[in-house]
Amino acid sequence: VIRHARVVTPAPGTAGARRGREIGRLQVLDNATVLCAGGRIDRVEPGGAVPAAAVEIDARGRVLLPAFVDCHTHACWAGDRLDEWEMKRKGASYLDILRAGGGIMSTVRAVRAASREALAHDLRSRLDVMLNEGTTTVEVKSGYGLTTDDELKMVRAIRDAAATWPGTVVPTALLGHAIDPAAGSAAAFVDRVIEETLPAVSAEFPGIAVDAFCENGAWSLADCARLFERARAAGHPIRVHADQFTALGMLEEAVRLGAVSVDHLEASTPQGLVTLAASAAVGVLLPCCGFHLDGRYAGARPLVDGGGAVALATNLNPGSAPCSSIPMAVALAVRHCGLSASEAITAATANAAAVLGMPDRGIIAPGARADLVLLRHRDERLLAYEFGGDPVDAVVCGGRVTRPDRAG
Ligand SMILES: [Zn+2]
C-alpha cells in the first residue's frame, strides 16, 4: 500500500499509444492510496482503508508515477569504448577511430569473444542499476553478434538475464545493425542475414521484434526493406533506427511496411514527421545520443502537433549513449526535443509500453502491473526540471518493494 501519494499517471483506458494532445494529459490524484495485491494494482482511491497486514509506504508530499518503461536499449554488450571516446574528445575523426579498430565493430569483437554466461551476467548488473533508477520494463536488442551463432548467443543471453530479474525484459533481434566485413561483401552479408540468421531466430524466438539500422555505412534502404518484408511475412513486428544522421527514406518505408516504431528521427524532415504522425507507428526519441555525440536532437513538435504518437527511451549502449537513466532522458527531451514535462512522462511510461505491446503497464490503474516509482519530488515537473541527480525514493516492481523508501 502506498498512502498519501500525489498519484500521477497517463489517463487509463486508451488502447495503444496516446496520440497528439492526449500525450500531455496526465491524471492527477492528490493524497491518494494505491493498493497492490498479487503483483497487480488492486485499487486507487482518495484516502482509502488499509488492510492490517499490508506493507506500507507513506508517500506524503511526494509524486508516485508508473515505473518507467525503457523501450529502446542495447544493454547487452561486452567490452567498452573508453579509448575511442578519449580519442574523439581529442578531435579524432570517425575514420581515425575506424582505422584504430573502433566503432560498432569493436563491440562486435568483444561480444563474439564473450561467453553467453558473461553477457548475461553483465546485462543483469545493468538491469539492476536500471531497476534502482525506476525502470521496471526494458527492451534489449541483439545486434553486436552479426553472425547467426553470435546473434542467437545474444538473444539467449538476454533471455537468461531476464529469467532472474524482478522486472520484465523484452528482447529484440537487431539483425541489421552493421555490415560484417568478414562476409566478403555487403550483399553477401545481407543475403546471409535474410536467408540464414532470420530463419534461425524465427525458429527459436517466434514473434520477436526485428530491427535494423538504416544509415550510410550501415544498412541501405533497399536491404532494410528486404529484411523487413521477410520478417513481416514470418510474423515478426518491425522496428527501425531511421534518420539518425541521414534521412534516406526509411521513415516513409517503415510507415508503408506497418512498423511498430520508428526510432531516432534526429535528421527527419518536418514532412517526414507529418507522415509519421498520420501513421500507426510510434516515433521513439533517443536524446541521450545527441547529448553524448553531437548536440543533434529530434524535434518532436510536428509529430505531436500532427496527432502522432511519441515515446522516449535511453538507447543505452557503449558507443553513442552510455546512459540508463530515464529521468536524464526526460530532462533532455524537454530541453531539446520540444516535449513538455507531462508529454515526456507519458512518452517514457504508457507510450513506451505501447511500443512493446504491453498495455498493462505504464499507467496507475486497477488491473495494471504493480510497477511504481516514488519520486522525492512534490511536483512531477521537477522530474524534467532537475537533472543529473537521483530523484527516485522508492521502486515497486510486480507488487514488491525492490528499492525501499529512502525517506522511510
Ligand atoms: Zn539504438
User: Whole-angstrom Cα distance, residue 175 to residue 196?
Assistant: 11
Amino acid at 74: H
Q: Cβ contacts of residue 216 below 8 Å, gap of 6+?
A: 245, 246, 248
Distance 319 CA to ligand 1 centre (A): 10
Distance 303 CA to ligand 1 centre (A): 20
- The chain-wide mean pLDDT, for the chain, equals 96
Distance 211 CA to ligand 1 centre (A): 9
In three-state secondary structure terms, 312 is strand
Percentage of the chain modeled with pLDDT above 90: 90
Give the pLDDT band (50/70/90) at residue 219: very high
Distance 174 CA to ligand 1 centre (A): 9
pTM of whole model > 0.95? yes
Q: Is 17 left (phi over 0), alpha (psi -120 to 50) or beta?
A: beta
Distance 119 CA to ligand 1 centre (A): 18
Average pLDDT (245-261) is 97
The predicted structure's pLDDT at residue 101 = 73
Judge contact between 32 and 26, C-beta under 8 A: no
How crowded is residue 299: how many other Cβ atoms within 10 Å of its Cβ? 15
Distance 257 CA to ligand 1 centre (A): 19
Burial of 163 (0-12, 13-18, 19+ CB in 10 A): exposed
Distance 180 CA to ligand 1 centre (A): 18
Give the pLDDT band (50/70/90) at residue 103: confident
Distance 194 CA to ligand 1 centre (A): 20
Average pLDDT (114-134) is 98
Average pLDDT (204-232) is 96
- Give the DSSP H or E segment for 66: strand 63-66
| 122, 374, 391, 81: CA torsion to nearest 10 | 20
Distance 13 CA to ligand 1 centre (A): 30
The predicted structure's pLDDT at residue 47 = 78
> Pick from 27, 25, 45: which is nearest to 36 by CA?
45
Distance 48 CA to ligand 1 centre (A): 43
Distance 72 CA to ligand 1 centre (A): 6
Give the pLDDT band (50/70/90) at residue 363: very high
C-alpha cell at 173: 533481434
Distance 315 CA to ligand 1 centre (A): 5
Percentage of the chain modeled with pLDDT above 70: 100
The predicted structure's pLDDT at residue 15 = 85
User: Whole-angstrom Cα distance, residue 61 to residue 408?
Assistant: 13
Distance 213 CA to ligand 1 centre (A): 8
DSSP state, residue 98: H
C-alpha cell at 209: 521484434
Burial of 262 (0-12, 13-18, 19+ CB in 10 A): buried
Tell me the per-residue pLDDT of 304-360, one tens digit each, with 9 for 90 and over.
999 999 999 999 999 999 999 999 999 999 999 999 999 999 999 999 999 999 999
Distance 399 CA to ligand 1 centre (A): 30
C-alpha cell at 371: 510497477
Distance 291 CA to ligand 1 centre (A): 14
Q: Does pLDDT of 2 surpass 90?
A: yes
DSSP state, residue 196: I
Tell me the per-residue pLDDT of 47-78, one tens digit each, with 9 for 90 and over.
767 787 788 999 999 999 999 999 999 999 99
Q: Does pLDDT of 93 surpass 90?
A: no
Average pLDDT (396-401) is 97
Distance 141 CA to ligand 1 centre (A): 8
> Pick from 139, 135, 165: which is nearest to 373 by CA?
135
Distance 157 CA to ligand 1 centre (A): 18
- Give the DSSP H or E segment for 229: helix 221-233
The predicted structure's pLDDT at residue 162 = 98
Distance 10 CA to ligand 1 centre (A): 25
Distance 19 CA to ligand 1 centre (A): 23
The predicted structure's pLDDT at residue 355 = 98
Average pLDDT (102-109) is 91
Q: Does pLDDT of 99 surpass 80?
A: no
Tell me the per-residue pLDDT of 287-318, one tens digit each, with 9 for 90 and over.
999 999 999 999 999 999 999 999 999 999 99
Distance 167 CA to ligand 1 centre (A): 21
Q: Does pLDDT of 135 surpass 90?
A: yes
Distance 74 CA to ligand 1 centre (A): 6
Distance 2 CA to ligand 1 centre (A): 35
The predicted structure's pLDDT at residue 408 = 80
Give the pLDDT band (50/70/90) at residue 97: confident
In three-state secondary structure terms, 195 is helix
Q: Does pLDDT of 13 surpass 90?
A: no
Instruction: For 135, list phi and psi in degrees, rounded to 5.
Output: -100, 120
The predicted structure's pLDDT at residue 129 = 98
Distance 391 CA to ligand 1 centre (A): 25
The predicted structure's pLDDT at residue 326 = 98
The predicted structure's pLDDT at residue 285 = 98
Distance 329 CA to ligand 1 centre (A): 14
Expressed in angstroms, the distance from the first to the final Cα of the chain is 14
